[in-house]
Amino acid sequence: MSEPAPPSGVVRHGHFRYESGHHGDVWLELDLLASYPERLGAAARELARRLADQEADLVCGPLEGGAFVAQWVAAELGLRFGYTRRGAGGRYAAPDSPDLRGMRAIVVDDAVNAGAAVIATARELERRGCTVAALGAVMAGSHSGTRVGARLGVPYVYLHEIAGTLWEPAVCPLCARGVPAEG
Ligand SMILES: O=P(O)(O)OC[C@H]1O[C@H](OP(=O)(O)OP(=O)(O)O)[C@H](O)[C@@H]1O
């Protein structure tokens, strides 16, 4: 079964300046993805199908976009749902209630780029007494997002690999060609 393609306009090509300070040639319009619930639901159903053998109790995603997908995947699998929220210093925290001790968790995000959100979410779940069983994402960036499962040492399902390159600003070839950067 082939996975549903992201809606047109979600993956943009050009010259962009990211929050990390890097420059790159791909931008993901994740709010646009979230605005098509039918398409997001199709992606979540496909993720759920591929993650169904993980014997998990909980699906957890980072707010905002990751949690939208995680909740849908949890509903498809008949599992509990949780979320994390970014706080100071890049830490992601889950709400104090419910008690998550002893649960097997799948971490789900809409997009994984550097992997900061899913890794911090996995660390928080472990701190709260969960075992992280697997990772799922609708989209994963080819520069590092596709390798985050290996970094966490868990099975990783992503539906779309988004080809893109990151550069330090000083060596950005698009800057060298005088292409204006967005972001
Ligand atoms: O792999 P990473 O480099 O961490 O990037 C991926 C994260 O970035 C986006 O969230 P963002 O921080 O923009 O928050 P939002 O969902 O509230 O827009 C996206 O929803 C992922 O959670």
Looking at CATH, the fold of the domain delimited by 11-177 is given as Rossmann fold (3.40.50)
Contact 94, 82 (CB under 8 A): yes
Strand runs labelled E in 39-153: 58-62, 80-86, 92-93, 104-112, 131-141
Give the single-character DSSP code of 82: E
As for the ipTM of the complex, it is 0.96
Closest ligand 1 atom to the C-alpha of 141? Answer: 1
Strand runs labelled E in 79-176: 80-86, 92-93, 104-112, 131-141, 156-162, 166-167
Closest ligand 1 atom to the C-alpha of 120? Answer: 4
Does the beta carbon of 141 sit less than 6 angstroms from any atom of ligand 1?
Answer: no
Tokens of 96: 């104090």
Contact 114, 144 (CB under 8 A): yes
Does the beta carbon of 61 sit less than 6 angstroms from any atom of ligand 1?
Answer: no
Mutate to test the pocket of ligand 1, among 29, 86, 112 (most ligand atoms within 8 A of CB): 112
Each of the 183 residues of the chain gets a pLDDT tens digit; together they read: 456 678 899 999 999 998 888 899 999 999 999 999 999 999 999 999 999 999 999 999 999 999 999 999 999 999 999 999 999 988 999 999 899 999 999 999 999 998 999 999 999 999 999 999 999 999 999 988 999 999 999 999 999 999 999 999 999 999 999 999 998
**pTM for the whole structure:** 0.93
Q: Could you state, in order of their start, the residue ranges of all structural domains in the chain?
A: 11-177
Distance of CA 18 to the CA centre of its chain: 16
Distances in Å between the Cα of 10 and the Cα atoms of 29, 32, 33, 37, 145 are: 5, 6, 6, 14, 17
